[in-house]
Amino acid sequence: MKGGRVWWIHVVLILFSLLTLLPFAFMVNNVFRSNAEFYHAFFALPGAFKQVAGIAGKALAGDDSPVVMADGEGDVRPLPRGEALDRSLDQATRGPRLAWKVIRPYMLNTLIVALLTVTGVLVLGSATAYILARYRFTGHRALFLFIISTMMFPGVLTLVPSFLLVKSLGLLNTYAAMVLPYIAGGQVFAIFVFKSYFEGLPEDLFESARIDGAGHVQIYWQIVLPLSRPIISVVAVMNILGTWNNFLWPFITNTEGSHHVVSSGLFVLATTAHASNFSTLYAAYAISSIPLLVLFIYATRPFIRGVTSGAFKARRTATGERSA
């Protein structure tokens, strides 16, 4: 019975995984379609794939006969196998090449904004959390509650004041217009997570470091941060995802379009002349999702380790308080 349950669990997980990947596979399949195929052969394989497969099959079979297809001027005539293969590959990759040319500046802007945001959030959030977790001064608890209380306000309430502030400072159409608000908003969650993690670290570590003559900066930099790598991964991944997927704020703070990120850039792409080329649009969507897939593959294990380590520390702290 137990083995049967495990078997069913595996089947359900595989089905859910396939359902999760189905939209991405559908998007990738549409990258190589022509506009006519979207209306007449929506669920079939792209015609360019069929052409390449047919030419490759003839080559494997030793058939050197010409391939009948349209040439560069649109006339249908027999073409040599090499020229037909090059034309088929060019037709299949035309959409991705154009999409990469258009979306490359947006991805570069997104990468710059994400790196600056994550760096600022990790530095300021961890330093503030360390002070709140290790030092007891007048009003430290009230200060922490005030910081955490800002998480209850939805971002839409501060959208207009933040925009007016950024505009008055002359930061529109700059990286600072996105990075500074992201750091200000992201470090609230970072302070909450880091403080909970730091308070769960053994006190013996700090006492031993102080006996050895380590100062506050040394303890923070050489002991606390190396032990906090799992929770650093959690904060970094959460901020990267938030920065990559945010659309409204980059769109309204980049009126000239020179600093558009991926989310707002895709919207601009979908409302310009490229909107009539479906393969280019789907290629842009697919290319923009690749960094998130890579992040998911490489950051899943440290992310889960950071989440579970925080839960274990909270459980151990609660157990210690009950036993005391």
Task: Tell me the C-alpha to C-alpha distance, in Å, between residue 171 and each of 23, 149, 162, 179, 246.
Answer: 38, 27, 11, 11, 18
Asked whether residue 132 is assigned to any structural domain, the reply reads yes
Closest CA to 192 of 137, 243, 146, 139: 146
For 275-290, what is the mean pLDDT?
82
- Of the given ranges (62-66, 276-280, 283-287), which has the lowest mean pLDDT? 62-66
Top-ranked range on mean pLDDT: pick from 81-85, 86-90, 224-228, 274-278? 224-228
Average pLDDT for residues 91-118, to the nearest whole number? 89
Sign of CA dihedral 313, 314, 315, 319: positive
Q: Using one digit for the tens of pLDDT, what is the confidence trace for 126-163?
A: 999 999 988 888 888 898 888 888 888 887 888 889 99
Report the candidate in 227, 247, 254, 126 with the shortest Cα–Cα distance to residue 183: 126
Give the pLDDT of residue 76. 59
What's the pTM? 0.78
Give the model confidence (pLDDT) of 228-267 as tens digits. 888 898 899 889 988 988 888 999 998 887 888 998 888 8
Reported as a single tens digit per residue, the pLDDT across 5-18 is 677 778 888 888 78
Decide: helix, strand or coil at residue 45: coil
Residue 253 lies in a domain: yes
Give the C-alpha distances (Å, rounded to integers) separating 284 from 27, 37, 263.
10, 18, 11
Residue 109 to residue 253: CA distance in whole angstroms: 14
- Domain membership of residue 306 (yes or no) is yes
Q: Would 2 be classed as within a structural domain?
A: no
Q: Which residue has the tokens 């980059």?
A: 250
Segments forming the whole domain that contains residue 280: 96-323
61 inside domain: no
Give the CATH number for residue 308: 1.10.3720.10
- Residue 234 CA to residue 194 CA, distance in Å, equals 10
Q: Residue 236: name the closest of 252, 251, 250, 225 by CA.
A: 225
pLDDT at residue 129, rounded to an integer: 93
**Position 308 in a domain:** yes
Looking at the structure of the chain, the number of domains it has is 1
Position 311 scores a pLDDT of 47
- DSSP-based three-state secondary structure for 32: coil
Q: What is the pLDDT of residue 90?
A: 75
**120 assigned to some structural domain:** yes
% of the chain residues with pLDDT over 90? 20
Distance CA(177)–CA(323), nearest Å, equals 50
Residue 308, Cα to own-chain centre: how many angstroms?
21
Residue 154 CA to residue 148 CA, distance in Å, equals: 13
Percent of the chain with pLDDT strictly greater than 70 = 76
pLDDT averaged over every residue in the chain: 80
What residues pair up with 77 in beta bridges, in sequence order?
Answer: 69
Element (H, E) at 78: strand 76-79
Query: How many other C-beta atoms lie within 10 A of the C-beta of residue 52?
Result: 18
Report pLDDT for 324.
Answer: 46
Chain centroid to Cα 315, Å, comes to 30
Categorise residue 65: left if φ over 0, alpha if ψ from -120 to 50, beta otherwise.
beta
Residue 194 within any structural domain of the chain: yes
**Contact status, residue 47 vs residue 95, Cβ threshold 8 Å:** no
Residue 233 tokens read as 């991964």
